[in-house]
Structure 1
Amino acid sequence: MTLTPEQLEDIQASRANPQATLRAVAPGMEKHLYEAREVLDHGFVRVIDYMGDDSAIVQAARVSYGAGTKHVSNDEGLIRYLMRHWHSTPFEMCELKLHVKLPVFVARQWIRHRTANVNEYSARYSILDREFYIPQPEQLAAQSTVNNQGRGETLQGAEAERVLRLLKDDAGRAYDHYEEMLSQDGQQGLARELARMNLPANVYTQWYWKVDLHNLFHFLRLRADSHAQYEIRVYADAICEMVKDWVPAAYSAFEDYRMGGVNLSAKGVEVLKRKLAGEDVTQESSGMSKGEWRELMAAFE
């Protein structure tokens, strides 16, 4: 992981100057403020700011729904009720701002979550560092033969060495040419906004990413899942650890109902009822496609 001297100085100054405040403070998140958590070979995630805590979710829900929630006996129970019944706006009262350093190809996957505010390091104005994501050998995998979006067996021996060599050589060569094209040695050179087109997708970029808790949970449900691509999943896992300390009651409900729960279609519910009644239901008699049946059976293995 590489932090610039300016970033390190900013972190040290911020942590050395705590401020008294009347706003809600989450002690669990305070310990994460400004600290950089290492991810991949050169990446990191660090909390820049946050707003709200578990009590903010409860407060918003009671303002919104009034007497409709009085039967819920405590704050944790209310939060679980909101999560269980797919309420969203109370969770939007909490926000998190992160500073993330990540490979460009991971950023392009991440940015598909269009429910956040993003400000990315600009290669039009600045020169990107010579830092590339090079996978560890255990992350070098062949294309899956059953899933066009997934990985298959790990590459071994000479084949793994060949792929690693290509990744390193191509990244270094592309950056060398990037530097040569820039006007750094007295030549006219190429504009930075054009020279950047030659950079590989594994070069590192940085951004500030601000998101509310409802949409953050949606991001984590998809990207912290075991089926998500490893290179984005490790960022999601790091964020999960921070969120768990920030809003423990909400995160516990999220783990239970979203990460650990199962959503069933109407046909899936009917199959389950028939099986509980003792009927021997097959895919052919279920009315479900092979894919739907496979996913239903996998949920209860």
Structure 2
Amino acid sequence: MPLSPEQEAEIEELRARRAATLRPVSPGLEAHLYKAHPVLDHGFVRVIDYMGDDAAIVQAARVSYGKGTKSVSNDEGLIRYLMRHWHSTPFEMCEIKLHVKLPIFVARQWIRHRTANVNEYSARYSILDREFYIPSPEALALQSTQNNQGRGAPLDPEAAARVLEILKADAARAYDHYEEMVDRIGLARELARMNLPANIYTQWYWKIDLHNLLHFLRLRADPHAQYEIRVYAETIGKLVADWVPMTWRAYQELRGGAVAVVRQALGCLRRMFAG
């Protein structure tokens, strides 16, 4: 179950509240508020709060407080101009706060993006749940012979079954010992946690501005990124598309997939001509 009963109750309480607001809202993202979007086997991403929308980016760029007589097409043109010329500050006016549940080894990659504000579940104060990331057989692969930090060919079914057997047994044994050290021996939680493997799940609140979020997505949603973090980035990308659709279209066309394909093609041509 992605959410605990306490978290489900919190969501219901928040949804029951209705308050008038004078600030602009993003209808697309409002539909996602508090909803847990499943990722991997036990993980999720959910939107806790946000500030700003496409109009906020335009307003910041023009240092104004209203659209006036400007049309949506003009606003989108300005956003495309800002994106094309790497004007980052207007995009930093938008922020989003996410609640993410993820394996610790994914969190350690993710935290390298130091432009966010993070508050993580503390195993010094609380007990971690018995939830471990166990990959699907299709996600298991040999070490790449060309990329020292990537995957190569898929494991054969027999080898994949053995890996899954090891992962499940190690996770169960480690958690049994964790419980024994905490409950029977009384070892401090901050010490007992050191025996747990990196595929156990943690949670955090993660707040970031839109400019730095797009940079995160450009790196982590890339096909070369590790699968386990890429699926989180892809989920967040769908949320961003609903939050700031004009910005997302500009990003996709000017910095995202299409541009990446062109750059790769140009790189291949350069290598061909270079011999």
Q: Give the TM-score taking structure 2 as reference length.
A: 0.91
Superposition map of 1:188-203 within 5 A: 189-203=186-200
SS in 1 for 2:206: strand
How many Å separate the matches in 2 of 1:38 and 1:73? 35
2:195 pairs with 1:204: no
Q: Give the structure with higher Rg (CA).
A: 1
Superposition map of 1:76-115 within 5 A: 76-115=76-115
SS in 2 for 1:100: strand
Q: Is the 8 A contact 2:2 2:38 kept in 1?
A: no
How many Å separate the matches in 1 of 2:18 and 2:236? 23
How many Å separate the matches in 1 of 2:89 and 2:157? 52
2:215 pairs with 1:218: yes
Q: Structure 2, unaligned stretches of length 5 or more? A: 65-69
How many Å separate the matches in 1 of 2:157 and 2:2? 30
Counterpart for residue 53 of structure 1: 53
Deviation readout 1:86-138 (Å, 9 max, x if unpaired): 01000000000000000000000000000000000000000000000000010
Deviation at 1:18, TM superposition (A): 2.6
Q: Structure 1, unaligned stretches of length 5 or more? A: 65-69, 273-280, 285-301
Percentage of identical aligned residues: 73
How many Å separate the matches in 2 of 1:19 and 1:247? 23
How many Å separate the matches in 1 of 2:73 and 2:171? 58
Counterpart for residue 31 of structure 1: 31
Superposition map of 1:253-264 within 5 A: 253-259=250-256, 260-262=258-260
Counterpart for residue 124 of structure 1: 124
Deviation at 1:73, TM superposition (A): 7.0
How many Å separate the matches in 1 of 2:158 and 2:224? 27
2:236 pairs with 1:245: no
Counterpart for residue 18 of structure 1: 18
SS in 2 for 1:282: helix
Deviation at 1:180, TM superposition (A): 1.0
Work out the number of aligned pairs and report it.
Answer: 264
Counterpart for residue 67 of structure 2: none
Query: Where does structure 1 differ by over 4 angstroms across 4 or more consecutive aligned residues?
Result: none
Letter in 2 for 1:35: K
How many Å separate the matches in 2 of 1:258 and 1:191? 48
Deviation readout 1:255-294 (Å, 9 max, x if unpaired): 1111121586xxx79x88xxxxxxxx7214xxxxxxxxxx
Deviation readout 1:55-80 (Å, 9 max, x if unpaired): 0000000129xxxxx9x971000000
Deviation readout 1:151-185 (Å, 9 max, x if unpaired): 11111121111111111111111111111111x24
SS in 2 for 1:7: helix
2:224 pairs with 1:231: no
SS in 2 for 1:159: helix
How many Å separate the matches in 2 of 1:115 and 1:261? 24
Counterpart for residue 283 of structure 1: 274
How many Å separate the matches in 2 of 1:211 and 1:168? 34
Letter in 2 for 1:137: P
SS in 1 for 2:63: helix
SS in 1 for 2:114: coil
How many Å separate the matches in 2 of 1:157 and 1:63? 60
